[in-house]
Amino acid sequence: MSNPKRSKIIAGNWKMHKNRGEAKALAEAIAKGVKGEKDLPIVVLFPPFTAVSTVGDVVKDTSVNLGAQNMDHHDSGAFTGEVSPPMLLDVGVEYVLIGHSERRQFFGETNASVNLKLKAALKHGLKPVVCVGESLDERENNLTDAVVRRQVGAALADLEVTDLKTLVVAYEPVWAIGTGKTCEATEANRVCALIRATINDVFRSEESAPVGDSIPILYGGSVKPSTIDEQLEQSDLDGALVGGASLTADEFLPLIKSAQKRIQALVKV
Ligand code: PGA
């Protein structure tokens, strides 16, 4: 049974999709779909940079939150093509994806750059969603646990336990992203629990409760309305980071509804 005290989150990563008009229409449909609803999960939209302001205008004063898909770790400077944490804050961004596997795969992001970005996000008060996950090759070679542990450990290097209040982690097996191949819910849960245990190992403390127990851990990788209920039933899985199924309100709103039902069920227990 998932810990009811941990926030439940449904996040939409729009990747390189949607011009401003399309983004506005989708954000409006989502905001309308959740308006007046109780027991909602935290809903976050991650539009492409060109549409961040547009979506921000739509979602301000709603229960939908604004995120960015990436950022540089510097505050400003000669870094052509990059966007800084203060720039994100300036347009109302609250959440930021860090180390998405597509950034690692295609844009040279490493565990070290993820760590720098995580520290920069925390320094500026942005809520980080740190993405980790193994490739198909790594899974087939039984390296899943080692890879995920290394990614989590490296991301958290040099942080203090007090830095983790807003941390969210997303487990996204690379082979499940955009492929239609969802990781079995129980296996996704096992890796989410491993992530939580790894965080607890890094920040082991005699005095306080294990910090990992309060950190939301999401699953991402071909999440759809037909997969979400079983995923949300898992003990260590607190929501979803969704790509393809976040691109239409028809698919994204049912994911929010499922999380809402789950929240209501957890409250009753
Ligand atoms: P997907 O993408 O839902 O299309 O698999 C998930 C992600 O990349 O965050």
Query: Model confidence over 47-85: pLDDT tens digits?
Result: 999 999 999 999 999 999 999 999 999 999 999 999 999
> Is 102 noted as a catalytic residue in this protein?
no
Give the model's pLDDT for residue 13. Answer: 98
Do the strands 95-98 and 239-242 form a parallel or antiparallel pair, or are they unpaired? Answer: unpaired
Other C-beta atoms lying within 10 Å of the C-beta of residue 211:
20
- Whether 2 maps to a domain, the answer reads no
- Whether 114 maps to a domain, the answer reads yes
- Summarised one tens digit per residue, pLDDT across range 201-221 is 999 876 677 889 999 999 999
Does the Cβ of 218 fall within 6 Å of ligand 1?
A: no
- Whether 1 maps to a domain, the answer reads no
CA angle 266, 35, 96 (to 5 degrees): 75
Give the model's pLDDT for residue 1. Answer: 55
- Whether 194 maps to a domain, the answer reads yes
- Whether 251 maps to a domain, the answer reads yes
Calculate the alpha carbon distances from 40 to 4, 7, 34, 43, 173 in Å.
13, 10, 8, 8, 26
Give residue 78 CA to ligand 1 midpoint distance, Å: 32
What pTM does this model have? 0.96
- Whether 3 maps to a domain, the answer reads no
> Could you give the CA distance from residue 8 to residue 76 in angstroms, rounded to a whole number?
33
Does the Cβ of 223 fall within 6 Å of ligand 1?
A: yes
Do the strands 127-132 and 42-46 form a parallel or antiparallel pair, or are they unpaired? Answer: unpaired
133: left (phi over 0), alpha (psi -120 to 50) or beta: left
Give residue 252 CA to ligand 1 midpoint distance, Å: 12
Cross-strand bridge partners of residue 128:
96
**Which candidate in 100, 102, 109, 134 is catalytic?**
100
Does the Cβ of 239 fall within 6 Å of ligand 1?
A: no
Does the Cβ of 47 fall within 6 Å of ligand 1?
A: no
> Is 172 noted as a catalytic residue in this protein?
yes
Give the model's pLDDT for residue 206. Answer: 63
Residues 130/153, Cβ–Cβ less than 8 Å? no
Give the model's pLDDT for residue 23. Answer: 98
151: left (phi over 0), alpha (psi -120 to 50) or beta: alpha
Q: Which atom of ligand 1 is nearest to the CA of 177?
A: 5
Shortest CA distance to 18 belongs to which of 27, 9, 31, 10? 27
What residue ranges of the chain have pLDDT lower than 50? Answer: none
Q: Which atom of ligand 1 is nearest to the CA of 223?
A: 3
Q: In the structure encoding, which two tokens stand for residue 103, read together?
A: 């950034």
Structural domain harbouring 126: 9-268
Give the model's pLDDT for residue 242. Answer: 98
Domain count, the chain: 1
Q: Which atom of ligand 1 is nearest to the CA of 242?
A: 3
Shortest CA distance to 231 belongs to which of 257, 212, 259? 259
Does the Cβ of 242 fall within 6 Å of ligand 1?
A: yes
Tokens 């709603």 sit at which residue? 62
> What's the CATH number where 114 sits?
3.20.20.70
